[in-house]
Amino acid sequence: MPRHGRRDCRYCGAMTTEGADIRYQAAGSAAAPVDERTDIITGEGVGLVLPTVALGTRIISALIDYTLYLLIGGLAWYGLQRVWEPENMAQAATWITTTLMVWAVGLPFLVQWLTRGSSLGRLLTSTRTVRYDGGTITMRHALTRAVAGLFDIHLTLGALGSVVIASTARSQRTGDMLAGTIVVTWPRRYRGPQLLAVHPLLDRWARIAMISPVPGPLSIAARDYLRTAKAMTPERRFERARDLAAALEPFTAPAPPRGTDPDAFILTVLSLREAADYRAASDTMRRQMRTEERLAALPYSVEHQGQSVRQG
């Protein structure tokens, strides 16, 4: 009996003749990690899956940023005091108020605006501030977040911001909700396209296999598994691969051979589906180009009449 209690699992290598037609379905568990993320719909209608940042990570990022801001503000204060001193209490109060406002609002605004939603803390924690549609923030977004930071961070010592972040679904503080932004996990560098190829063990099966379209969450979960499989423990990797392979099996015809390695099956299915999508997109583009060429060309009768007029 396989470890998960199923009498018939195509990917465990421990099959029995009883219940040979039973399929181990795990589409829900295979795509579960995707549901914990934040779906962002761009202006072009493209869905992005970017996980939001937890409260602890945002606190670490803020501590890094404000440590740097305190260092910059202290150096600027020391330098200005050496070149100018207020003559009375009114000038001193005005000077202190202006300096604090520039430090609390102006400096975070400039950093967020110039870096387009990043900062030293954001960089070190691999996070970034983006709009609801996943786009880069503008001056308006940065200014709104900086002004709201007076209440979220400074006047309440971060208590208000922490409570709001912990109580909202997208981990937003008041400034994020007013500006229409969210803080998401952002990779430090582009990993490049994921190269997929048919596994040699399934080469013969791949020649006759038909792969129907795979749902987006399941496809993303399978690609994430292939990218992170090496970092998993053997037990976790086997369970995850088995669940994903069983979830992908209903979209294949015929089914893979008994005893198929789940890693090889996942890789082959994604490769075949990617190749099919590429061929379909290429055919659509060629048909569109032929249609545009026919629409751009003048009718033969009009062109013929024009030639006759020119000859006359």
DSSP string, 119-156: -HHHHHTTEEEEETTSPBP-HHHHHHHHHHHIIIIITT
131, 137 Cβ separation under 8 angstroms = yes
pLDDT score for 25? 39
Task: Take residue 85 and report the two structure tokens written for it.
Answer: 């001193």
Residue 173's pLDDT is 93
pLDDT score, position 278: 86
How far is 138 from 143, CA to CA, in rounded Å? 9
Task: Write down the pLDDT at residue 29.
Answer: 46
Task: Specify the pLDDT at position 66.
Answer: 93
Residue 181: its H or E element: strand 181-185
Give the residues of the chain that fall short of pLDDT 70: 1-50, 188-195, 299-312
In whole angstroms, what is the distance from residue 173 CA to residue 148 CA? 9
Output the pLDDT for position 293: 84
Go through 164-181 and write b for each residue having 16 or more CB atoms within 10 A of its CB, e for each that does not. bbeeeeebbbbbbeebeb
pLDDT at res. 52: 83
Longest dimension (CA), the chain: 96
